[in-house]
Amino acid sequence: MHISGSNDRDTELMAIEDIVISFDNGTAAAEAGKTYNNYTGLGSTGVFDSNLSGYDTGGATGVSVSNSHVLTADSSGRLQGANTRTEEVNRQGSYSNAGTGVDSVITATFPATVTAVDVEVFLCTTFSGQVALAVDVNGSTATVDSSGNTTGTTSTFTSVAPDGSDQIVIGMSNPGNSFLFHNGFRFFNIVDSAASGTITPQMMQHLN
């Protein structure tokens, strides 16, 4: 699923590497050479990481992330997906008990120079009753059948602009159940206006 917004990033340089968040049930990431921000549940609310690590190098990104509800680790994901990264995030997770139809919110705060981010949402579980999850990413919405997601399909929101507080707010709710199973998220194609210069056709040949 791809939900598109405005996109002028072809003329801007990417300065912050991809970020992968996994609400893992305690087993280390299986993908060699890559860094996952793994959390075995979240026992409290608020900022749970003030400086997420980058997926490719493990370097600091300056991106912080917070949660609105406690998450309890659980192994009820599915080892499914189009690639190793997706399988790794989908195979386990954590659940919130926000209440029926109440948003469980994950908020990422980016450096003020970030102008656009692609957001991939992983929702894939063997739990029943997760069939019509409402997902909202800074005003762009989708409905996801997580219980019926037997192939590990993800939902991608493209060119999401951080709000006036430099935040991307991911709200997810379950209209039919108080529980909501979280697998994880990926932030990628992060456009940072602090990167100097523009991408020329010659540069694009080297990047492709």
Q: Taking the domains of the chain in order of start, what are their residue ranges?
A: 2-207
Sign of CA dihedral 29, 31, 33, 35: negative
CA dihedral 178, 156, 90, 59 (to 10 degrees): -110
| 3-state secondary structure at position 60 | strand
Question: Residue 103: how many CB atoms within 10 A of its CB?
Answer: 20
Residues 74-131 have pLDDT tens digits of 999 999 999 999 999 999 999 999 999 999 999 999 999 999 999 999 999 999 999 9
Contact 161, 5 (CB under 8 A): yes
pLDDT band at 29 (very low <50, low <70, confident <90, very high): low
pTM of the predicted protein model? 0.87
Residues 131-140 have pLDDT tens digits of 999 999 999 9
* CATH code, residues 2-207: 2.60.120.430
